[in-house]
Structure 1
Amino acid sequence: MIKFCALLLFCSLANFVIAQQHIISGTIRDTGGQPVPFASVYIKNTTTGTSANVDGKYTIKLNSGQFTLSFRAVGYTQQDHIVNANTDIVLDVKLSSESYTLDNVNIKANAEDPAYEIIRQAIKKRKEHLEEVKAFSCDVYIKGVQRLKGAPKKFMGRDIRKVMDLDTNRKGIIYLSESQSRFNFQRPDDIREEMISSKVAGTNSAFSFNKASDLIIDFYDNYLLENKLSARGFISPIADNALFYYKYKSLGDSKENGVLVHKIEVIPRRENDPVFRGIIYIIDESWRIYNTDLYLTKNAGINFIDTLNINQQFTKVKEVYMPTSVNFQFNGNILGFKFAGYYVGVYSNYNLEPKFPKSFFNGEILKVTQMVNKKDSIYWSSNRPIPLTPDEKLNYVKKDSIAKLKESKKYLDSLEKENNKFGLGKLFMEGHSINDRYDKKYYSFDPIRKSIFYNTVEGLVIKYGVTYKKVLDDNVSYSIRPEARYGFANQKLTASLSGNYLYNPLKRASVSASFGNGIFDMNNLGSMTAIGNTINSLLYEKNFAKYYEKSFFNINTTRELATGLQASLAFDYNRNHYLTNSTDFKFFDNKEREFTSNNPFSPNVETPLFPTYTSVSATASLTYTIGQKYITRPDGKFYTESKYPKITVLYKKGMNGVLGSDVDYDFVKAEVSQDRIGLGLWGYTSLLAGVGKFLNNSKMYYLDYKHFQGNISTIFPPNLRKFQFLDFYQFSTNQQYFEAHLEHNFAGFFFNKIPILRKARLEEFIGGGYLSSPEKRNYKEFYFGIQRLVLRASYGFAYDGAKKLTQGFRISYGF
């Protein structure tokens, strides 16, 4: 027995020695002694490896034995070093600048550069290379760093150095994160990633937003980064139509890893086309991409940043080449804040023949578990593939210690005492908040500027509310909101109380209820904003909005039944009362115009549109987004933008006799919509189409009709569903209808070609709407315009059949 135990102990020790890992580390420099940032270090002929940091320092762990390490960087000649990993080794490496020769190239006048034929071959093979890997899985490490290179001393009255924890020159790291994931892919576009560990400097409870899929940029696609840095996307140097947009120049050939690699410079044919600049490396005969060193500038139409560099290195895996290092470097300047940063991804341990179980790809593109951010510094020291730079180490230590301090009740109490200070100016513009982050309790007081307005029904109105929110364990939360409203002309006080309980964030499941009384727009989809109606009433003697009073009780619940399928149920009790104008006050008296009555169908006489009545209804709806993708985090489930339409079906029943209800109707509708359908260089399209019908309209009043989002104002907030020239109230229906909206944004396709307009970065758009119902048959409108960020201006025409109704300018804003 003793001998057996001894043998067992000996075998265990032997296994430990065999499995023991040793650290190979060093600095990678060029021949001039300067560090080579983000150079790749891989075991030769494998996808096991790492990347150097921005200072050229690297660390790789190897089991005991002999290995050949390959050191690569775009722009440098690859070096291989044999190491005997029987102990820790310091191995510094000097990389020579790449040497590409132009041998055997006869240059003649007017002759085509040999790069063109290489690119033509790569274009022919593009689709084959795009689709040749049907599925794969790999390990991914992502590191993101953002630095502030300069900033104004103060911004909106606040000391930037103190707020952002910068040095005396207002410079410093403002974001530092790392993550490790297992990434899985299956063609055509199935993705599933599970985050294993996550670390964000200064936020002990936060999760990194790094996603491996965000760094996988495939130049075998025709268009890249669509709807990210630009609405149009950017053309690949080997896209099917690339020769129309690029010029090419051969910079020579070189043998690397047994293959001939062509180095080709890509040059825009036109300065402001949405294209890349830089170098692409193509392997001879197979015509695959070997490396990329490409960048985008403002001239290409990127938003938010000035320059983006994309550096990729590929390694042979079986018979194909897969990316092992991807690096995005960027810089920019916004409102005096100069910033720069990078995201680097290290891809390793590829499996090109994964056996995914059935239903493995279920729409969940990223899963972040509760324990992801609980790994300590010892774990990261042992598992971090890219060494930290000295300032990154300091940033972690400093911000993590501050983060721990910030979690204490004493610190939070002192912080909240400062942040919760009352200010009259702040209350007027932003509202006032009282936060208790330690106990997760939050009070929010409405801003006064949104609480005071005017209409002819109530006169001067004060509407004010306070919201209280409490967050429980697992991000379950509830909120309560009391609200009161008083009109000085009609001397009417109304008040309500509402509440919401989010009981399952992962299922997007909640219950809400409200009761009280209040003043509401007769169009339940809304007409004008309160401030817009105030300005039109007081300055132009135009009281567009029409109101009524109701006492109400309602309860509704919503829950996700399956991925992309959201269900909701609602029960509503309303006691509705018609109101009349109480005042005709205005700042300027227009002799040619008078305020209209509160009845939109009887503008000159105050005739009640409906009697006081009770309405009880129940509504059920289902909304399904085709191909919905989502991210699961401990704090909830978050949908991403879908490439496919959203379909909604709804049934509403007016319940006669229930709780004294005076209505009896059945209404059904179906809608399909989709935002930002990418059309490559031509921009994107958004659409919405809906059809509905009252199966039964035995007893109903105007408020129960199907209303539409109209507009008769020059300035309004944008909404695809909104008709730009349709009256708010005149064409509501209690029968059937069909409506459709279509808008296409060219994203600067035309203006980018006009030098005088190019720098303005304007986007041109066209659109239209259509409505058909018994009240308004064959109504249509068309418009065209320009926009820049959240501001847009358009000119349009409205028709009733073939008859033109109106035309004019419209200005809309998105803030």
Structure 2
Amino acid sequence: MLRHLLLIFTLFIAISASAQQYALSGRITDQQNHAVEFASIYIKNSTYGTTANESGRYQFKLNPGTYSVIYRFVGYKERIESVTITDHDEVRNITMENEVFKLGTVQIQGKHVKDTAADDIMRQVIAKREFYLNEVNEYSCAVYIKGVQRLLRAPKKLMGKTVQEKLDLDSLGRGILFQAESFSTLSIQQPNKIREETIASKTVGLNPTFNYTKASDLNVNFYKNIFSIPGLSNHGFLSPVASNAFNLYRYKLIGRTTENGHIIDQIRVIPRHDHTPTFKGSIYILEGDWRLYSIDLYLTKKDNGLNFIDTMKVSQQYIPIKDNIWQLVSSQYSFSGTVLGFVFGGYYNSIYNNYNLDPKFPDGYFTGEILKFDTAATTKSADYWNANRPVPLTLQEAKDLNEKDSLASVKRTKGYLDSFQHSNNRFLPIPYTIFGHTSSYKNGTDSVYLYPFINTLYYNTVEGYGLNLQARYTHKINDLQSYDFTPELRYGVANKMFTANVNGEYNYDPFHNAKFFGGFGSAILDLNNVGTRSLYFNTLSTLLSERNYVKYYKSEYGDIGYQREIANGVLWTASLTYANRIQLFNTSFNHINTFNGRSYTSNNPLLPNAPADDKSILFPENKALTFNTSFRLTFDQQYITRPTGRIDVPSKYPVVTVDYRQGINSLGSDVKYNFVSLNVAQNRIPIGLIGYSAFSLTAGDFFNRDKLYFMDYNHFLGNQGTTFDPTYVGSFHFLPFYTFSTDQAFLEAHYQHNFSGTILNNLDFLRDLKLEEIIGANFLTEKNNRDYSEFYVGIQRFIFRIDYGIAFEGNKKYMQGFKLYYGIK
């Protein structure tokens, strides 16, 4: 018996020893002992490897055995080291020599070409672009991503103690602002199917302006014609190996070298013209195969109009996987910039391991879910990261991570949460005036939002001066369920009318956008139910310009509704409303500016020339039982799934929305009609190197109009006044709010294109402003009015925009002028 136990114990020890992994680590430097940061290290004849960190240090774990380890980075000679792992960790420091690319004779298709061979080489590469783009039909791999954004220098005059402590900076204004890392599995199938699952994710620090935390963000294929950088530019950049690359690039052969039996050509990439959507730098070509070997390219704010940053460098390394098939093994985005004297920089580094080029994905494997976060992804311990992290942290990164992890633990304590909540609830008058104020309670479970003061005190000719008190209470039941209520109290001094209502919704399934909603009470509503002007802007135009654009009525109502995504990309909404509608008339005629000779108009929008105190009947008091339903169809809907819900990703196809509305002549209701409309729209269509377009096309008709009133008509999102809201492409610049409202068939069309600086970037005196040029047109045709059309041009920068447009009724010019937007609706 003892012999058997000893045998079992011996086998257990042997199996454990054979399964034990040991670390291969070291530092990679150049001949001047400077760190070679982000150098690639991988095992020959495998798809397993890593990269060095910013200090040149690397580490990864291996089973006992002998390995050929390849050390490689752009600009250095490739090194192959034989490393034997026995029963302990192995340290191997590496000094890399500068690569020398020598000019000489290059052989292309049987002919010898001197050092002017760059164009001939690139023609070979471009000829094989599409082959390499589609060479691998499908594959899967493991991906590790590390991102760091740090402050490199801060202006002393802005470096107060509070700022220094808040950002955790040293005395020179330096420190790490943000760190993120993740492990994912990535699956790809040609031509455009993708599925990614994040197994582990860790983020500390301030939320960055831009980030690339998905494996697909950094898995950029230069064999595609257009290279996009989400968040940093609204247009694409032409790849140096694009099918039409010779139109915008010149090439120079720097030289050639031999690496591991392969001849590598270094090609300098040179834009033919300044300030074009092109790269500078070098690409490295595997001669004979004419494929990409390495990428070392960059973009700048000065030449390429980047947002937020000054310089972006893109580096990629490719290795052979099997049978002369090469794949991406590492990719880096390195960036730097200056904002208001603050100098910052950072990087995103991704490592691709364990390629499977024959994954045999089952039918239905690729759904609309392009990214899924494991439920435990954000709960991994420090021990897990220390054991699995393939790239060692630098000393600064480790210190920052430990400090912020400790601080995060403190922030989860009840005392800190109570203190933070109290501080965050502090009432600040100026932000409240424009944006409102939010207070949270019970560690964020409950919150109250007070609507902005600019929409609390108001004036209009129907109610006179008034007070509109509105707040939203939200209660979070758990991570998946919540409800909110929005009560509103409103009183008009001139007409002495008090209204009160409450609306709310119960969200119970964030994975299917499912909720119940409803409300009841009385309210003062706009006769144009798609929206005209806010209380704030209507108050300004009424008092300062004698332009009482908005026309009101009173509704005493109750409604209930339901929404749910019934299939991927199919969102269904339905509601039922019962309302008593009452016409209102002007009761107040206050003036601030009495020198412009203008007069207020009637509250009846169909009588624009009637006196302000007109009492003509637009509609009698009536009751309406109305049923609404809509289906929104998003083709190829893609989404990201998190443990707390899903986030829909904008589709590359148009979205189709079908709306149906019925006035039901029952239960005392006075209305009887049927209305249907069809909308096809797409908000962002990338147009290669020249920005993006958007369009909206809507057609509709009342196929039964036995009994309906003005508020039941189909209304359009018009605009009157100097300001406008450009955030929805289906709006007009000059269309009167009510004139074109109709109970007949109609067709409206909208198109807009943003050139994203393509034109103005060529003008020296405007280039630094990074303005975006916009053109657009709007059109409306219906039975009872002449065709209406608008044409406009504009420029914008972030939330600021100014347009100049001309509008026509038929062939007659209706109006022209400027429209402004500065972030307030």
| Shorter-normalised TM range | over 0.9
Amino acid at match of 2:35: P
Q: Counterparts of 1:490 and 1:156 in 2: how far apart (Å)?
A: 55
Contact 1:649 1:669 survives alignment (8 Å): yes
Distance 2:262 2:41 in 1: 19
Q: Deviations over 1:239-296 (max 9, x none)?
A: 1222221222211101112211101111122221111111110111111000011010
Query: Whole-Å Cα distance in 1 between the matches of residues 800 and 245 of structure 2?
Result: 33
Match of 1:467 among 463, 472, 481: 472
How far does the alpha carbon of each residue in 1:439-470 deviate from its partner, in whole angstroms, 9 at most, with x for none? 62212222323322221111122212222212
Q: Secondary structure at the match of 2:128?
A: helix
The one-letter code sitting in structure 1 at the alignment partner of 2:30 is D
Aligned 1:684-695 pairs, distance under 5 A: 684-695=692-703
- Aligned to 2:597, the other structure's residue is in SS state coil
Kindly provide the amino acid, as one letter, of the partner of residue 195 in structure 1: T
Take 2:665 and 2:598, find their aligned partners in 1: how far apart are those partners?
42
1:725 and 2:725 aligned: no
- Partner in structure 1 of residue 37 of structure 2: 37
Q: Are residues 1:92 and 2:93 paired?
A: yes
- What's the offset of the Cα at 1:803? 3.1
In 2, distance between residues paired with 1:293 and 1:532?
52
Summarize the alignment of residues 234-633 of structure 1 with structure 2, pairs less than 5 Å apart: 234-298=237-301, 299-318=303-322, 319-436=324-441, 438=443, 440-590=445-595, 592-603=597-608, 604=610, 605-633=614-642
Is the aligned partner of 1:72 residue 2:72? yes
**1:115-163 Cα shifts (integer Å, max 9, x gaps):** 1211111111111111111111000000111112234578899932233
What's the CA shift for 1:188? 0.7
Matched with 1:807 is 816
Q: What is the aligned-residue RMSD (CA, Å)?
A: 2.2
Deviation readout 1:311-346 (Å, 9 max, x if unpaired) = 100001122211101011111122333221111000
TM-aligned CA deviation for residue 682 of structure 1: 2.7
Does structure 2 retain, via aligned residues, the 8 Å contact 1:485–1:494? yes
- Tell me, in whole angstroms, the C-alpha distance in 1 between the residues paired with 2:158 and 2:434: 17
Partners in 2 of 1:423 and 1:234 — Cα distance? 44
**Structure-1-length-normalised TM-score:** 0.95
**Does residue 709 of structure 2 align to residue 709 of structure 1?**
no
1:149 and 2:158 correspond: no
Distance 1:375 1:154, change over 3 A: farther
Q: Distance in 2 between matches of 1:156 and 1:112?
A: 54
Q: Tell whether 2:750 aligns with 1:750.
A: no
Q: Secondary structure at the match of 2:17?
A: helix
- Other structure's SS at 1:404 match: helix
> What's the CA shift for 1:31?
0.8
Distance 2:519 2:161 in 1: 39
Paired with 1:218 and 1:476, the residues of 2 have a C-alpha distance of 40
- Matches of 1:156 and 1:798 in 2, distance apart? 51
Return the letter of the residue paired with 2:552.
Y
SS in 2 for 1:715: coil
The CA distance in 1 between the partners of 2:133 and 2:221, in whole Å, is: 8
Find the aligned partners of 1:216 and 1:587 in 2 and give their Cα distance. Answer: 61
Q: CA deviation at 1:811?
A: 2.6
1:348-394: per-residue Cα shift (whole Å, max 9, x none)? Answer: 11011111011111011100021111211111111100001111111
Whether 2:748 is the aligned partner of 1:739: answer: yes
Cα distance, 1:526 vs structure 2 = 1.0
Change (3 A) 1:807 1:189: same
TM-score normalised to structure 2 length? 0.94
Q: Is the 8 A contact 1:154 1:160 kept in 2?
A: no
Q: CA deviation at 1:654?
A: 0.8
Of the structure 1 ranges 370-379 and 473-482, higher mean CA displacement relative to structure 2 is found in: 473-482
The residue type equivalent to 2:306 in the other structure is I
Residues in 2 aligned to 1:623 and 1:36: alpha-carbon distance in whole angstroms: 52
1:693 Cα deviation after fit: 1.3
Output the CA distance in 2 between the equivalents of 1:734 and 1:138. Answer: 58
**Does structure 2 retain, via aligned residues, the 8 Å contact 1:567–1:623?**
yes
Residue 215 (str. 1) matches residue 223 (str. 2) = no
**Alignment correspondent of 1:28:** 28
CA distance in 2, matches of 1:157, 1:83: 52
* Cα offset, 1:582, TM superposition: 1.2
CA distance in 2, matches of 1:203, 1:798: 46
Residue deviations 1:695-726 (CA, integer Å, cap 9, x gap):
21111100111101111323212131112221
Partner SS for 2:787: strand
1:667 maps onto 2:679 in alignment: no
Distance 1:356 1:8 in 2: 40
Unaligned residue ranges in structure 2 (runs of 5+)? 108-113
Q: Which amino acid aligns with 1:94?
A: T
Partner Cα separation in structure 2 for residue 88 and residue 506 of structure 1: 46
Tell me the equivalent position of 2:63. Answer: 63
Percent identical residues: 42
Quick check: 356-365 or 750-759, which moved more? 750-759
8 Å Cα contact 1:648/1:672 also seen in 2: yes
Q: Structure 1 pair 424/533, CA: closer, same or farther in 2 (3 Å)?
A: closer
Q: Which residue of 1 aligns with 2:111?
A: none
Is the Cα contact below 8 Å between 2:178 and 2:206 reproduced in 1? no
Question: 183, 198, 212: which is aligned to 1:195?
Answer: 198
Report the equivalent of 1:646: 655
CA distance in 2, matches of 1:685, 1:439: 40
Q: 1:436 to 1:270 in 2, by over 3 A?
A: same
**Paired AA for residue 364 in structure 2:** S
CA contact (8 A) 1:716 1:813 kept: no
Partner Cα distance (1:244, 1:591) in 2: 58
User: What's the CA shift for 1:759?
Assistant: 2.9
Q: 217, 223, 231: which is aligned to 2:234?
A: 231
| Separation of aligned partners in 1, 2:299 and 2:552 | 53
What does the per-residue CA deviation read over 1:611-651, in whole Å, with 9 as the maximum and x for residues that have no partner?
A: 11111111111101111110000121101121111011111
Deviations 1:166-191 (A, max 9, x none): 23333211111110010000011111
Q: What is the rounded CA distance, in whole Å, between the counterparts of 2:800 and 2:423 in structure 1?
A: 36
Contact 1:152 1:160 in 2 (8 A): no
Letter in 2 for 1:544: Y
Code of the aligned partner of 1:707 = H
| Superposed displacement of residue 41, structure 1 | 0.9
Letter in 2 for 1:23: A
1:116 aligns with 2:125: no
Q: Give the distance between the partners of 1:226 and 1:209, measured in 2 at CA.
A: 10
Q: Give SS of 1:201's match.
A: strand
Task: Write the distance in 1 (CA, Å) between the matches of 2:444 and 2:712.
Answer: 44
1:170 is aligned to 2:173: yes
Structure 1 residue 136 corresponds to structure 2 residue 118: no
Secondary structure in 1 matching 2:689: helix
Q: Is the 8 A contact 2:683 2:729 kept in 1?
A: no
CA contact (8 A) 1:540 1:588 kept: yes
Report if the CA contact (8 A) 1:732-1:775 is conserved. Answer: no
Correspondence for 2:110: none
Structure 1, unpaired ranges of 5+? none
- Deviation per residue, 1:61-114 (Å, 9 max, x gap): 1111111111111111111111110021111110111111113379xxxx9832
